[in-house]
Amino acid sequence: MFSETIELRGHIIDSLILPKVLDQILTHGANFKIGEIKIGKKRADQSFARIEVSAETSEALDELILRLRQHGAEVDKRADAQIAKAPADGVFPRDFYVTTNQQTFVRFDGKEIEVRPAMMNSAIVVDRKRRSARAVKFFDVSKGDEIVVGHQGVRVVPVQRSTSRTDLFQFINAIIDADEPKSAIIRELAGELQRARAAKGKVAVVAGPAIVRTGAGQHLVRLIESRYVDRLFAGNAFAAYDVERALFGTSLGMSSELAFARGGHENLMRAVNVIREAGGIAAAAQKKILTGGIMHACVRHNVDIVLTGSIRDEGPIPGVTTDAIEAQKVMREKLADVTHALLLATIQHSLAVATMLAPTVKTVCVDIDPSAVERAVEHQPLQSIGLVTDVEPFLRELADCVTEAESSSGAKK
Amino acid sequence: MRELLLCPPDYYGIEYEINPWMSRARGAEAALAQKQWNELHATLSKLDCKIHLIAPQRGLPDMVFTANAGLTIGRKFIPSNFRHKERAGEAPHFARWMEEHGYQVAWLPDDLYFEGEGDALFGGDVLFCGYKFRSDIQSHRAVADMLGCLAVSVELVDPRFYHLDTCFCPLPDGAAVWFPAAFDEYGQRAIREHVADLIDVLPEEAMHFSCNAVVLERDIVLPEGAPKLVAILQDRGYRCHELPMSEFIKAGGACKCLVMFMPQRESAL
């Protein structure tokens, strides 16, 4: 999106110039945001409005602004962003601008350019020759790179609330507490997942070990089998528990019948060893060593598995990215085209993913801990739903809803 | 008594084309134009007003349209900044004349086009201002600032009605004669919101420049060719003086374009 700020002055209310300009912006397929408006108090007093106009392309914006000038719109002459050179590899200049995950523009040579990709907690590097700007992490900056410093010439455009009120996420946009009913929302979510699949959206599931431990794995498998999951983000532990469950019927030594099974933690260690011996999850599945569980379903249905490590990991299972910086890069890359994210029962991993999501990604966070839900959804203020609940009933109901809808639509055919 | 400024048509003619009415190929007949102007002058002379004449200048054929010289309120004269270079030469002559006659001349910034009374007419206490073809909307704001009044800017959309006074004529009783199709939808709404009593002119009568009328209390001097409008105005108790204006309509002007009020108002409030 490209944008420009215009100002209108004069008897813009009595002359209906303000509504005319706003209507023209919309009829040209552009958008506006009124930044400031001062209405004259007395009859002869003039009014003032500052309006941010945004359009899909720079050409469309220029053409629209030219039209609006006829009606008295004046383009706000704003200052360019300030730039300083990175003093060393991996070091930003002091006062570097710290990004949010919102759509961001920087202005230089009098024109605004969009920062792509937008990325939270980064700095902005500008390439003047190419007229481009991108958000970078510490490891991505080289000595001499031109970095935006201060706030001048930087503009952040938060995601706008939809006016149609048809979008579930913007309509509900809340956290559903433990003691509140959830069935209606879960049904709506099932509908949203179906729409996402039909529209070739990309659904990411961020899965915590509790899914396996509570016995909710089978429901996640149903979602995977129905092709509602495109990417699975998890830690080493999640994969290890799932494999243990598949191979020995326990997770961390506990069976789904809530009885401590023979073997205890031993099962986990043996499971990890089996996968290491097989050369990884996919190899274990191909060799029919691994014949069930979530990981197996992912391999069978071509779900991208993104596994990252942590200090307490056993193994790791082959394919787990253990270098933290490398893991960030891989996750960011795999999240770039995601349209929907289900953050399920894993606070640390959910928070890591949430900070990497574009603000437009529709996000559902499910956790039994209310504060975890709150923290995970705060980055997507208009695009998120949080549910405070045990993940097992959530996944069971969601899987029931989608499979029910599948079979009824199948019956119609 | 109202005072009016006119300019004899000694050098009048179609020497360039700056609106859809003008055609150098067709031209205006000088003798007939002189006769029609004399008739206007004679008609106005018999009414309750005092007529001033400014000396016409060779090479400035449109100087005859004095309404476009500027806008006079009280003793203040705001000269026009003509959009077309063909007419820009008129401005200093009018400004000098007004200054010599005791008016304070207040120029607008050079970069704001404004064509005087042609695009700025008081209706009640609102200064209606036309924009797009000749005057810039920004000039309205500057004029409103100078005068401390409410200026309602309306967009003109039909190039044949390129000045406000070709399609809008306020009457002393608070009503106004207008040709709605000359304005965009917002302009029409803005006018309707500020003028409760509007008399619509039919398209065929608007083409005879019927809105381009000089209103002196109960007397209205307008071009011939608008029998329906004249009947409505007579019903309302106005005396209508219909004049042949063919030679001036060829340049896109008629009775009102040939006259500037000095002042249009004693004060803007």
Backbone phi and psi for residue B53, each to the nearest 5 degrees, phi listed first: -120, 135
CATH 2.40.420.10 placement within chain A: 82-157
Beta strands at A111-114 and A103-108: parallel, antiparallel or unpaired: antiparallel
pLDDT at A389: 95
Scanning A203-242 for CB atoms below 8 A from B yields: none
* Pair A355, A257: CB distance under 8 Å: no
CA distance A199 to A228: 12
pLDDT at A327: 96
Nearest to B163 by CA among B183, B143, B185, B188: B183
DSSP string, B30-62: HHHHHHHHHHHHHHHHTSSEEEEEPPP-TT-GG
CATH (residue range A2-74): 3.30.70.2690
Asked if A14's CB is within 8 angstroms of B137's CB, the reply is no
CA distance A154 to A81: 6
DSSP string, A350-411: HHHHHTTS-TTSEEEEEESSHHHHHHHHTTSTTSEEEEES-HHHHHHHHHHHHHHHHHHHHH
Please tell us whether the domain made up of A82-157 is placed in CATH 3.40.50.740.
no
Active site residues of B: 163, 257
**What residues in A contact B109, CB-CB < 8 Å?**
none
Asked if A15's CB is within 8 angstroms of B153's CB, the reply is yes
CATH (residue range A168-412): 3.40.50.10690
**What residues in B contact A44, CB-CB < 8 Å?**
144, 148-150, 269
* pLDDT 10s digits, B71-119: 999 999 999 999 998 999 999 999 999 999 999 999 998 889 999 999 9
Scanning A32-71 for CB atoms below 8 A from B yields: 43-44, 46, 70-71
CATH 3.40.50.10690 placement within chain A: 168-412
CA distance B1 to B8: 22
For B30-260, CATH number out of 3.40.190.10, 3.75.10.10, 3.40.640.10, 3.40.1280.10 equals: 3.75.10.10
Task: Return the beta strands (E) in A236-282 as ranges.
Answer: 250-251, 254-255
For B132, which residue in chain A has the nearest alpha carbon? A70
Backbone phi and psi for residue B52, each to the nearest 5 degrees, phi listed first: -110, 150
* Pair B154, B130: CB distance under 8 Å: yes
Structural domain boundaries in chain B: 30-260
CATH 3.30.70.2690 placement within chain A: 2-74
For B269, which residue in chain A has the nearest alpha carbon? A44
Asked if B151's CB is within 8 angstroms of A10's CB, the reply is yes
Q: What letter would DSSP give residue B24? A: T
For B126, which residue in chain A has the nearest alpha carbon? A44
**What residues in A contact B155, CB-CB < 8 Å?**
20, 71
Q: CA torsion angle for A163, A168, A171, A173 (degrees, to 10)?
A: -120
Asked if A44's CB is within 8 angstroms of B194's CB, the reply is no
CA distance B64 to B9: 6
* pLDDT 10s digits, B24-61: 888 899 999 999 999 999 999 999 999 999 999 999 99
As a whole number of angstroms, the longest Cα–Cα distance in chain B is 46
Structure tokens at A380: 């997507």
Structure tokens at B46: 């018999």
- CA distances to A212, A295, A358 from A256, rounded to whole Å, are 9, 18, 37
pLDDT at A118: 80
Structure tokens at B18: 């700056």
Structure tokens at B100: 């010599």
Find which of B112, B136, B138 to mutate to test the A interface (most A CBs within 10 Å of its CB): B138
**What residues in B contact A17, CB-CB < 8 Å?**
137, 153, 186
Assess A11–B contact: CB distance below 8 Å, yes or no: yes
Structure tokens at A19: 């509504």
pLDDT at A413: 41
pLDDT at A337: 93
CA distance A396 to A49: 52
pLDDT tens, position by position, for chain A (413 residues)? Answer: 777 889 999 999 999 999 999 999 999 999 999 989 999 998 889 999 999 898 888 778 888 988 898 899 988 666 789 999 999 999 999 989 999 888 888 988 878 889 988 888 899 999 988 989 999 999 999 999 999 998 878 887 766 555 444 566 766 657 888 888 889 889 999 999 999 999 999 999 999 999 998 999 999 999 999 999 999 999 999 999 999 999 988 877 777 665 555 666 888 999 999 999 999 999 999 999 999 999 999 999 999 999 999 998 999 999 999 999 999 999 999 999 999 999 999 999 999 999 898 888 999 999 999 999 998 888 776 678 999 999 999 999 999 999 888 787 654 44
Asked if A72's CB is within 8 angstroms of B132's CB, the reply is no
Choose among B138, B153, B187: nearest Cβ to A11: B153
Asked if B186's CB is within 8 angstroms of A19's CB, the reply is yes
CA distance A377 to A176: 12
For B138, which residue in chain A has the nearest alpha carbon? A72
| CA–CA min distance B129, chain A (Å) | 10
Residue with tokens 């200064």: B127
Asked if A44's CB is within 8 angstroms of B153's CB, the reply is no
Assess A191–B contact: CB distance below 8 Å, yes or no: no
Paired with B49 in beta bridges are B2
Assess B194–A contact: CB distance below 8 Å, yes or no: yes
CA distance B139 to A231: 60
